[in-house]
Structure 1
Amino acid sequence: MKHCLVVDDSSVIRKVARRILEGSDLRISEAENGQTAIELCRQAMPDGILLDWSMPVMDGYDFLVELRSLPGGDAPKVVFLTTENDVAGLARAMRAGADEYAMKPFDREAILAKFAHVGLLSSPNPNGAAAKTPPSAA
């Protein structure tokens, strides 16, 4: 079972994300800021990270830069969450090592689609659960 770390200063967002991702056969752990998340990554590197961009203590950008410098820190697929549709900010996050992004507020389908896109889940089916689909002929 793949492990996903949900990093957000909002306990409500962490709870919603946990429910969505646990329903997709992922093991979930949580951190309320980037510093706590780095400590958890040093103990056991997750397969994927759902990362809030704007947090106290250590924000998403600083977390991502530090994560990618850790041994094995290049491996996790990172989907960052943002409330801003700022092209320069999105580009900065991608240059720092994010694999994908999602806008807040998010829903089940959006998060599952992003996780499928980065390879953490099979393609999501309409029910919101992950399901294997045959590769396209494209």
Structure 2
Amino acid sequence: MQRLILVDKSVIIRKVAKRILSDLGFLVSEADDAQTALSICKGRVPAVMIVDACLPGATDLIGEVRELPGGDKVKIYYCLIEGKFKHMMQGKRAGADDFLLKPFDREILTKVFSDQSKTAA
């Protein structure tokens, strides 16, 4: 079972996404701020990380995770409300691998993450 950390200020977003991603076979951790997320990642680097672009310190968090041992292997999704090129480039420069647009639902998360959950951690 792959570890995934979901970093978002919204309790509702975390709750819904955790339920869907857990159903897809991920072991999901949650954090509502960058500091908590970094502490979790220092304990054990996840296979996948979803970071809300609106979170204070989101790009710094991505860079700090990349510097951790094994951090270069984490698949990081930068989660945006809209696909603005400027924000996408900020995430990419920080080290994000891909983007996820909010609001997302079961269909979107299943399409993006169903194959990844089956890969060995």
Please say whether Structure 1 and Structure 2 have the same fold, judged by a TM-score greater than 0.5: yes
Partner of 2:45: 45
Partner of 1:74: 72
Alignment pair present for 1:120 and 2:113: no
The answer on whether the counterparts of 2:5 and 2:31 sit within 8 Å (CA) in structure 1 is: yes
- Per-residue CA shift, 1:92-120, capped at 9, x if unaligned? 2123211111111111121222225xx62
Runs of 5+ in structure 1 lacking a partner? Answer: 123-138
Q: State the percentage of identical aligned residues.
A: 37
Equivalent pairs, count: 118
CA separation in 1, counterparts of 2:89 and 2:116?
22
CA separation in 1, counterparts of 2:109 and 2:50?
9
The two structures, once aligned, show a CA RMSD in angstroms of 1.5
Alignment of structure 1 residues 1-138 onto 2, 5 Å: 1-56=1-56, 59-116=57-114, 120-121=116-117
CA separation in 1, counterparts of 2:97 and 2:113?
10
- Per-residue CA shift, 1:51-71, capped at 9, x if unaligned? 111124xx3211101111112
The answer on whether the counterparts of 2:80 and 2:101 sit within 8 Å (CA) in structure 1 is: yes
More helix by share: 2
- Aligned residue type for 1:46: P
- Aligned residue type for 1:44: R
Runs of 5+ in structure 2 lacking a partner? Answer: none
Which is greater in Rg?
1
